Amino acid sequence: MKYRKLGKTGIETSEIGMGLEYLLDKDEKTIKNTVKAAFDGGVNYFDCHMGHDFKENPIDYEGYAKLGKALQGIRDKFCLTHIANSAFRSPADAQPRFESYLKALNTGHSDVFIIQFCDKADDYGQVMGENGLFSYAKKLKSEGKTRAVGISTHSSEIALKAIEDGYDMLMYPVNPAFDVVIDEKQYKTENLDSLWDAAHDFKAEQNGAIQPRKNVYIECERKGVGLAAMKPFAGGFIFRVEKDVGFTPVNLISYALAQIGVSTVVPGCANPNEIEEILAYCNCAEELRDYSGAVSKSRWSVMGNCLYCNHCLPCKSGINIGQVNKLIDAFSDSPDLKTKPIKDRYLALPVKASSCKECGACEKLCPFGVNVIKRLKRAVEFFGS
């Protein structure tokens, strides 16, 4: 298992985390064995979503008590989140649930306090209000009861607002099906199913190479906001809709981890076998991680976009083309003080884009038809030679 920083929080997370939505209603033995399998595999990030309908979320949740028993003696090895559903809009609603969560897990703090399922503008407005959940979460942080404050959303509009408003981390869907959705035209946040509908109906020839949702990843990278990639399989939708193109849990995890700004990918697991299937990513051959063939054959192939799959390598000049392309995208077209760390990372690369000999070998290898030479010249324009 490899580990990454959760933005600027100082928290180090395993590249692969685990969502508990489908686990916490299982029997105590299943929970214990699944936690052990995750721990043995190096997983240290648990998204503690309790999985019930938010209107029925109990204050004293039995699943947390079972999780607390499974974590006895190893709680300090994990980054645990507490989920406060945005439907519980006041601290008076959230506080008893948070205190019950701490008691059940026999801990004095949650590593991250996440305001969950905030997809509507009205809900976000109430969360950010004077007596909203964001103020409550910041108070908990000041008291040492949480180390970071996060929010989960499916909406790019709300995600970008949250990044600007000072959240420490974001949970956001990262997968090739959703990445192509053009929110402003097709996704209505008041109807979450429309996100899946838009992904199902996507036609590359009608939409070109536009991927506006990736701006969320870019802004997380630029602002130092941790990004937990949720729904890497789009809730199983990807496997159902594109059955024969070659998508697997392993290559979809690889896809999510390759995107700009991602700190950890958090698939849901309900038993030890499922976590072991996910953890196969850590020790499998590189060709099993390769998502480029499946993406290029799927309805979600967007030609001309770098997906950081590294098929362009090795470069005869030694340029790490995928990393250069990530830095180009993160730097964007509006360099300012916030992008100085991006430039510093570029300057630390052992071989710069200016070393390109324009041999064209990379472009012949790219499965997405990226004009690599043009992008490398752009890197020189951005960062210098």
Q: How many domains does the chain have?
A: 2
Same domain, 165 and 62: yes
Same domain, 204 and 73: yes
Give residue 364's domain range. 321-383
pLDDT tens for residues 174-213? 999 999 998 666 777 667 888 999 999 988 776 666 788 9
Same domain, 278 and 329: no
Q: Is there a domain that residue 300 lies in?
A: no
Q: pLDDT band at residue 83, thresholds of 50, 70 and 90? A: confident
* 195 close to 253: Cβ distance less than 8 angstroms: no
Q: Which of 240, 265, 288 is the last residue of a domain?
A: 288
Q: Is there a domain that residue 296 lies in?
A: no
Q: How far apart are CA 245 and CA 230, in angstroms?
A: 22
Q: Is there a domain that residue 67 lies in?
A: yes
Q: Which pLDDT value is given to residue 90?
A: 83
Q: Which of 288, 305, 336 is the last residue of a domain?
A: 288
Q: pLDDT band at residue 89, thresholds of 50, 70 and 90? A: low
Q: Is there a domain that residue 301 lies in?
A: no
* 207 close to 180: Cβ distance less than 8 angstroms: yes
Q: How many Cβ atoms from other residues are within 10 Å of residue 33's Cβ?
A: 17
Q: Is there a domain that residue 302 lies in?
A: no
Q: Is there a domain that residue 295 lies in?
A: no
pTM for the structure as a whole = 0.93
Q: Is there a domain that residue 294 lies in?
A: no
Same domain, 353 and 230: no
Pick from 29-33, 84-88, 148-152: least confident: 84-88
Which CATH number fits the domain that encloses residue 265?
3.20.20.100
Same domain, 345 and 196: no
- Which positions ≥6 away from 264 have C-beta within 8 Å? 4, 6, 13, 14, 15, 16, 17, 45, 228, 229
Q: Which of 210-242 are b and which e, b meaning 16 or more Cβ less than 10 Å from the residue's Cβ?
A: ebbbbbbbbbbbbbbbbbbbbbbbbeebbeebb
Check residues 117 and 249 and name the one with the higher pLDDT: 249
Same domain, 284 and 342: no
Q: Is there a domain that residue 264 lies in?
A: yes
Q: How far apart are CA 168 and CA 372, in angstroms?
A: 34
Mean pLDDT of the chain: 91
Q: Which of 294-329 are b and which e, b meaning 16 or more Cβ less than 10 Å from the residue's Cβ?
A: bbbebbbbbeebbbbbbbbeebebebbbbebbbbbb
Peptide bond into 314 cis (omega under 30): yes
Q: Which pLDDT value is given to residue 253?
A: 98
Q: Which pLDDT value is given to residue 360?
A: 94
Same domain, 274 and 371: no
